[in-house]
Amino acid sequence: MNSTVSSAAQSTSSRAAILPVALLSAFIGAFVVFGVGFAHSNVLHNAAHDSRHALGFPCH
């Protein structure tokens, strides 16, 4: 019984450790798609141009 409780506690703690990383990754991904996608700077626009089109994100 102790191993079941221990296993459940480890699963919960590993999920809690993953949550901040997942949120940060989602924020950075959204910034790349939307921030760079609608940027007026030609340098930013051209740097991600091919990637955006490969993912189906229109930029024109």
Taken in order 45, 40, 33, 58, the sign of the CA dihedral is: negative
Span 9-36, mean pLDDT? 83
Spell out the domain ranges in the chain.
Answer: 19-60
d(CA 15, CA 18) in angstroms, rounded, equals 5
pLDDT tens, residue by residue, 25-56:
999 988 877 877 677 777 776 777 777 777 78
